[in-house]
Amino acid sequence: MAPTLNSGTYTKDLSNAPSIQGGVLFRRKCDFIIPDDTIIYRIVETHYDTSQYDYIAEVYEIGFYSPDFIEQHIDTLREEGMSDNDVVNEIIDLKMEDPHASILVARFAYDDIQILNKNAIRVWAKQIRGAYVDTQKSGVGLAGQIYRQFVLMHGYLVCDNVQTEFGAALWAGTIRDVVGRVDIYDCHNDKYIQELGDKGIGVGGFVPWDLNCTSNHTFRLARWILYPFEITSCTHIVLVVSL
């Protein structure tokens, strides 16, 4: 399982809901707010017994009656020193949600996976399999904040076997900045290699991505043009972020 950076026509877009087969095992929700913002989001996570993915998480921007009042009230609660978690709970307790004004802004798919933690104890983690973030939200750091919530919900989050340029950049930059330390993990040997450092390379120089596209491919993100891709496959390497 690995960060093989794929390009060309490869996509992991979940802008349309995937086909679902099998029954729902359980559904849970998580409300959160981005620091220094006044928009409250809700993750609705559904776990299936038999489906293409173990989990589908849809993320909504919650709509409210009297949105101007809600925005002002959020600012007031923060000025009073209330934490963002408590602010969200306080706003939800007002029972002013307008269900017709909520907007789907993101969708993620992920599966269960077992890895070792830093104490060499086998634990369950969630491995990202696909993602969609509305284009109007993709530039405001929403994806990183959602990944942070996934880690708070599940403890361990693992990158996919294959990543797009944008997915790889998310792990190389935003997740390190917003969520926390990212580690390079060897699935064949069940061991941590190095912490992921600047420029998408391990702090000890380990290169965790290979390149699965033609040599004359034109990158959409300039950061990968001079990246020292591994010649051999990195299919046994993943990235892990945890609490």
In degrees to the nearest 10, what's the CA dihedral of 58, 61, 65, 70? 130
- Read off the pTM: 0.90
According to the model, what pLDDT value does residue 215 have? 62
According to the model, what pLDDT value does residue 49 have? 85
The answer to whether 203 touches 129, Cβ cutoff 8 Å, is no
- CA dist., res. 90 & res. 94, Å (int): 7
According to the model, what pLDDT value does residue 229 have? 87
Q: What is the greatest pairwise CA distance in the chain?
A: 57
φ and ψ at residue 236, rounded to 5 degrees? -100, 10
- CA dist., res. 83 & res. 117, Å (int): 30
According to the model, what pLDDT value does residue 21 have? 65
According to the model, what pLDDT value does residue 214 have? 61
Residue for token digits 């990195």?
234
Q: What does the pLDDT look like over 99-147, one tens digit per residue?
A: 999 999 999 999 999 999 999 999 999 999 999 999 888 777 899 999 9
C-alpha angle 60/66/70, rounded to 5°? Answer: 65
Residue 51 CA from chain centroid, whole number: 20
According to the model, what pLDDT value does residue 52 have? 84
According to the model, what pLDDT value does residue 2 have? 47
- CA dist., res. 80 & res. 74, Å (int): 10
Q: What is the pLDDT along the chain (243 residues), one digit of tens a residue?
A: 345 666 544 456 676 666 666 678 888 999 999 999 999 999 999 998 878 899 999 999 999 999 999 999 999 999 999 999 999 999 999 999 999 999 999 999 999 999 999 999 999 999 999 999 998 887 778 999 999 999 999 999 999 988 888 899 999 999 999 999 999 999 999 999 999 999 999 999 999 998 877 667 788 888 898 899 877 788 789 999 998
Closest CA to 206 of 172, 230, 170, 226: 230
According to the model, what pLDDT value does residue 13 have? 64
Mean of all residue pLDDT scores within the chain:
89
Sorted by sequence, the CB contacts under 8 Å of residue 42 that are 6+ apart come out as 29, 30, 31, 59, 60, 62, 102
Spell out the domain ranges in the chain: 4-62+102-242
